[in-house]
Each structure stands twice: as structure tokens, then as C-alpha cells.
Amino acid sequence: MIVYASRTGNVRNIVSKLKVESIEISEGLLLSEPYLLITYTDGLGDIPVKVTRFLEENKELCKGVVVSGNSNFGHAVFGGAGEKIAATYHVPLVRKLDLRGYQADYEAIQTFYETRVMG
């Protein structure tokens, strides 16, 4: 499963390109199966608050993170949420996507999902 957070619609669009069951993060969401997290970056490289809340309740089943951001904000903060999630929760940072990403990104995410999440 893919679990995602989307603020501007970019992440929702990315998820729609994948052939995977998905669910958007909502308050109190609890999972019982492994998942790949896809999120946006808040502020200047921060993890969105709702993603942090979700991870605190569901961190054990997270198999990796994909992050969307805007490279115009600079290399130091681009995709910062993904780097922080990977380091804090000890999961691989699968991909950093500039805005909606590209076909090669979707293929890499799909491959990671099929091999590392579904096993």
C-alpha cells in the first residue's frame, strides 16, 4: 500500500501514476500492512505535522519514503522532509521528486514498491 500526504495536488498526481493501492493520510489512520510513504516537504525542508503524527502511530510498517518538493528553494532544503523521515525512522529515501516528477521517477517508485514493500 502507498500512504500519502498531498497539499497542492502534486503528490496526489504522482500516486495516480502508480499501479498500487493507496490511501491519503487522515487523522487517526492506523495501518496493519507494510506501506511506502509519499509526502510533500513543508516550509523550508520540514516534515508536515500530519505526516509526523501519522508516523508516530505507524512507523513500524513504513518501508521507505518518497518526497516531493520544489528545487527552486535550493539544494539545502529540497526534499528535506524525506531526508528527515529517512534518518529519524531508519527507512530508505527512495526518491526526491521535483514537483510532480517524471516517468523515470514513477518507474523507480513502482520497482521499489514491488521488490521492497510487497517483497
Long-range pairs of 85-91 with CB within 8 A, sequence gap ≥ 24: 85/37, 85/39, 85/47, 85/51, 85/55, 89/55, 89/59, 89/62, 89/65, 91/37, 91/62, 91/63, 91/64, 91/65
pLDDT tens figures, 74-84: 988 999 999 99
Q: What pLDDT is attached to residue 39? A: 98
Which option is the CATH number for 2-117: 3.90.1150.10, 3.30.420.40, 3.40.50.360, 3.40.30.10? 3.40.50.360
> Is residue 119 scored above 90 in pLDDT?
no
pLDDT tens figures, 30-74: 999 999 999 999 999 999 999 999 999 999 999 999 999 999 989
d(Cα 21, Cα 113) in Å, to the nearest integer? Answer: 11
pLDDT tens figures, 15-27: 999 999 999 999 9
Spatial CB neighbours of 110, under 8 Å, sequence gap ≥ 6: 18, 19, 20
pTM: predicted TM-score of the whole model, two decimal places: 0.96
d(Cα 64, Cα 85) in Å, to the nearest integer? Answer: 9
Cell numbers for 26, please give them.
Answer: 487522515
Domain boundaries, the chain: 2-117
